[in-house]
Amino acid sequence: MDFDDLLDRYFGSSAIAEIQPGALEAGIERMQVDFGLEQDRGKRFALWSLLHLLGAAPDLEASFEREADREAARNLMDMLAATEQADG
């Protein structure tokens, strides 16, 4: 799943700054539904990652059955936090 494609699919624009608040809320809701229905591990991780970036990701324990997937999500969270600290 390509990041720009995900943005365009759920929010109607690949430019995050152009997304209107109402479209953002509706897109997040659609993404959460799709996340709950998705069976492919890679696609689930991609959806969860974007939801995390938007502050709408579900809990790790509820999101991923496999510990390896939860650990990958934790690693992503750590990398994003380190980037924020470096920029901050």
Task: Tell me which of 66 and 1 has the higher pLDDT.
Answer: 66
What separation, in Å, do the N-terminal and C-terminal C-alpha atoms of the chain show? 29
**Predicted confidence (pLDDT) at residue 88 exceeds the cutoff of 80:** no
Q: Is the pLDDT reported for residue 1 higher than 90?
A: no
Residue ranges of domains in the chain: 3-87
Instruction: State how far the alpha carbon of 42 is from the alpha carbons of 5, 10, 53, 66, in Å.
Output: 15, 18, 17, 12
Taking CA atoms, 13 is separated from 24, 35, 48, 53, in Å, by 10, 20, 19, 16
- pLDDT (tens digit per residue) in 4-63: 999 999 999 999 899 999 999 999 999 999 999 999 999 999 999 999 999 999 999 999
CA dihedral of 42, 47, 53, 58, whole degrees rounded to 10: -100
Specify whether the CB–CB gap between 52 and 63 falls below 8 A. no
